[in-house]
């Protein structure tokens, strides 16, 4: 297990904020396409979910050049088509209540991470001003 330090905490909060912002963008895109025939709703899959799929054999990362680096996907988030949503007759499967709930959850998660990050910076500022 990795060491828990200030840099690791700030990095984890950064990843959380990036992921929740991506979830809001995808939900907003789904809402913008609520009346587009044939549009399939999308969702953001976290890095952990994507990695679990890769390790389970759902796909394999392949390098096509000796200069490519192997390993995990470059992004913290992976956008995939939403599964299990019922389609309307026009082929669209965007559900308004589902997308609004996703946006609300993402907003709450972002605010929580932002609050934690602000508290971390306040501690650093306090340590700097009190050491004088």
Q: pLDDT tens-digit profile of 25-64?
A: 999 999 999 999 999 999 998 656 655 655 565 445 555 6
pLDDT of residue 128: 84
Confidence bin at 4 (pLDDT 50/70/90): confident
pLDDT digits (tens, 9 = 90+) for 63-102: 565 555 444 444 556 888 998 999 999 999 999 999 999 9
The structure's pTM equals 0.69
* The two three-digit tokens of residue 48, written as one number: 């952990």
| Cα 13 to Cα 25: distance, rounded to the nearest angstrom | 18
């Amino acid at each position: 297990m990795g060491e828990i330090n200030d840099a690791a905490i700030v990095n984890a909060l950064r990843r959380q904020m990036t992921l929740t912002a991506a979830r809001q963008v995808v939900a907003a895109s789904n809402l913008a396409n609520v009346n587009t025939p044939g549009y399939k709703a999308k969702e953001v899959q976290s890095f952990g979910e994507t990695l679990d799929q890769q390790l389970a054999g759902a796909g394999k990362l392949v390098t096509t050049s000796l200069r490519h680096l192997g390993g995990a996907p470059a992004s913290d988030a992976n956008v995939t088509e939403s599964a299990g949503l019922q389609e309307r007759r026009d082929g669209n499967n965007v559900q308004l209540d589902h997308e609004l709930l996703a946006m609300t959850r993402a907003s709450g998660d972002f605010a929580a991470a932002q609050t934690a990050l602000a508290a971390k910076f306040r501690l650093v500022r306090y340590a700097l001003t009190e050491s004088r």
